[in-house]
A = this chain, B = another copy of it.
């Protein structure tokens, strides 16, 4: 087995922590070069906030930490294909690169559904790399939903 890149390792640890809180296990990390600027776990129920996906919380925390509303020098690592809300936020934030683990055929908006970054109304297209840590993320999600059935 090859080791995962450190940011995806952190994102998967955040996803595991989300599951322990009863939240769908998704984690995200914003990097500025080699530095972690923000780490977040999916938390809509805990926070009473329907927008509190891991990506949104990480982007908001990174922007607050850097004191600006654009993150054009930052990369986002996330354990699941972003939905339309998160893909829109990634474009608004001008994130440079997006790395994600598992595809999400039901709710994803990058390689599924609206394929938002290919839309003419999308004003910033990050470079996208999919599949890094896919098996571990998919296992986490499968186990989470199996326990709740």
Residue numbers of A with Cβ under 8 A of B are: 44-45, 47-52, 56, 59-60, 63-64, 66-71, 83-89, 91-94, 105-109, 112-116, 119-123
Contact = CB atoms under 8 A, between A and B. Distances in A.
> Interface on chain A toward B: helix, strand, loop, or mixed SS?
loop
Contacts of A47: 69
Contacts of A91: 84-85
A92 B59 contact: no
The listed residue with most B CB atoms (<10 A of its CB), out of A59, A71, A119, is: A119
A69 B45 contact: yes
A63 B113 CA distance: 27
Given A114-B114, A114-B121, A119-B114, A68 B48 contact: yes
